[in-house]
Structure 1
């Protein structure tokens, strides 16, 4: 792949006039498909769009006014999945010369949902050719690495100002099917089972989500992915949570945003950002961060 005709900007960073300690991440709502990506695909663009956290960036529309810096991917998840690590691919999904570096795939990678998505149910392979080194590096250099560099920069700035930072990684999910753990849950708050955020911050988020009157779960079935695992370090004063929102709460049957329901969730999310901006780590967490 070359970058000659690719749109230059793959991410957006929006900062408030008076930044608080909260950084919002929106890695999967991008809707830009560079021409190289469409040319490499063996499926229609509509199939690639199934990878998106469709329109969930609109839920974060008021986060900047509530004091958060917002980092959002503009390019689509089909280019690279910013919520996967660079080593998360299955050997069978890449060219033979790359297979040795992807020797221990997990369940999602084996399903084709690695750092480069390669398969979807009912679609088969997404790309005309296996992902080779040039294609992988192009995708990582143009989207994945700039995204995480931007997140790290905003988190570092917040931590420098306040002594700590809060990362809220925003996603949407399809309705959880009957028979699967968490069926009926509409919002999931993930902290990797206590590893990425202080308990009191998770409690705040759970209470805020519950006030919407929707079923809320913690860590089931989504405990948090690469973004919170990489950047969430409570011992260093960085507290990270992942939020998954059932798309049926804000999309129509045609997968378009319902203005009234989007506005309801946007008001809630802005309020959550405002509450989180007033939160402070407890004394034990502050002492641990200072060590």
Structure 2
């Protein structure tokens, strides 16, 4: 499985370059998702987890996902077609938050971008691809669960009120039986569950999910208000059952027959 946004390490260079404080940078994190997945290895999963903070590099974005206005002038030509998230400052290097403006004192330059990609983003992608290939070679299939947390979905947005969002790029990245199993398991937490709204899956599931080739990828978003206190610290009493649920989900997927449509869980 993949946990790309749970890192909590901030290099001194990053804090020195920021025009906002560490608390603002921490808002980018998928707070404590690694604790939710703490039982996943014992349940049969291989975990690829980012240790460095999302402010350093967003491992759930492609290398070309940046808005031209967020980088130094010599780099702008290579980022000529930004999408909605990139225009909002949530590219491969996060550059702004809606209510506090730019995150960095200067636009991202070539040396800074290269350092972030080469030191953090590319090693993560390589490790994930390696584990998926190993699982496929061993079992003939691989299942990738990409775990995230989300803020409460505001009123008026698709999926408002959902506690869990399951994303499979509208059926493109995983077999239907796997997704149905995950949706059914999510309902056991007794919170509203939606599929692909408002999060259909980002770079990781889009890149690796190839069900026609035996690689199935599903993104899971969990409302962090279900397990964090208002100051964004873990609430042990509410976190424990979610962590137990996630480990059980891994175990259930591992028991699926290899002859079925959905392969057995190997290494995510």
Separation of aligned partners in 1, 2:260 and 2:230: 47
| Corresponding residue of 2:206 | 229
1:244 corresponds, among 217, 221, 240, to 221
The answer to whether the 8 Å contact 1:25/1:168 transfers is: yes
Change (3 A) 1:176 1:218: same
Residue equivalent to 2:82: 105
C-alpha separation in 2, matches of 1:282 and 1:89:
42
- Corresponding residue for 1:177? 154
Partner of 2:14: 37
What is the match of residue 117 of structure 2?
140
Go from structure 1 to structure 2 and tell me whether the alpha carbon gap of 1:102 and 1:280 turns closer, same or farther (over 3 Å shift): farther
Alpha-carbon distance in 1 for matches of 2:261, 2:176: 12
Residue 261 of structure 2 is aligned to residue 272 of structure 1: no
The count of residues paired between Structure 1 and Structure 2 equals 263
Structure 2 distance, partners of 1:214, 1:258, is 17
Q: Structure 1 residue 121: deviation in Å?
A: 1.2
* Shift in Å, 1:281: 6.2
Give the CA RMSD over aligned residues.
Answer: 1.2
Q: Which residue of 2 aligns with 1:91?
A: 68
Give distance in 1, aligned partners of 2:218 and 2:262: 16
Structure 1 runs not aligned, ≥5 long: 1-23, 287-291
- Structure-1 separation of matches of 2:259 and 2:118: 38
Report if aligned partners of 2:167, 2:199 keep a CA contact under 8 Å in 1.
yes
Q: Distance in 1 between matches of 2:37 and 2:261?
A: 31
State the SS of the aligned residue for 1:103. Answer: coil
Does residue 237 of structure 2 align to residue 260 of structure 1?
Answer: yes
Q: How far, CA to CA, are the matches of 2:51 and 2:172 in structure 1? A: 29
Q: Deviations over 1:112-161 (max 9, x none)?
A: 00000000011111111100111001001111101010101111111111
Deviation at 1:279, TM superposition (A): 2.4
Length-normalised TM-score, structure 1: 0.88
* Helix, strand or coil at the partner of 2:153: coil
Distance in structure 1 (CA, Å) of the matches to 2:33 and 2:191? 17
